[in-house]
Amino acid sequence: MLDSQPPRRRHWFDIQFQSMIWTLQQIMYGAVALSIIIATGVVIIDAVSAFFNILHATESVGHTVLTVVDRLLLALMLLEILHTVEITFDEGFHLACVEPFLFVGIIASIRRILIISIEISHQNIANQLLFKSFMIETAVLGVLILSFIYGLVLLRKSRIRGKIA
């Protein structure tokens, strides 16, 4: 016969300490979420103000549109990070927590490619070395985007297999 021992009772201090740590963790997640919400609001307000700069024509329209798109993509990244913080409030966040970071990586890479393309179009690229470095960075970002997308596909396939099995 198996020698089965009754489960060991946890000490009251251990239970209280774990409860206190969990509460402190929830408060910190709430503070991070609030900070991200405020930062996202500021970025969106900045994007709207940059959009209204088109009416005053203080800068070129292309540069203003780039600024608006840049700010909106930054806001989207912040919202994805906020979604990740929201997921951590749930208990089962192990694999679900990876997906928003992949989306943030895709958005950040696309954002950088857009910025590089505008920099190339608005600068006199007489320096071949500068142009070559822009092209290498764009190629690396393209590979990075494809890697993130491949990771998303694998993650989703693993979830589908988990539901079927």
Q: Give the C-alpha distances (Å, rounded to integers) separating 163 from 87, 111, 156, 158, 160.
A: 20, 34, 11, 9, 5
**In this predicted model, what pLDDT tens digit does every residue of 63-84 receive, in sequence order?**
777 778 888 888 888 887 787 7
Place of tokens 């951590």: 88
The pTM assigned to this predicted structure is 0.57
**Over 80: is that where the pLDDT of 123 sits?**
no
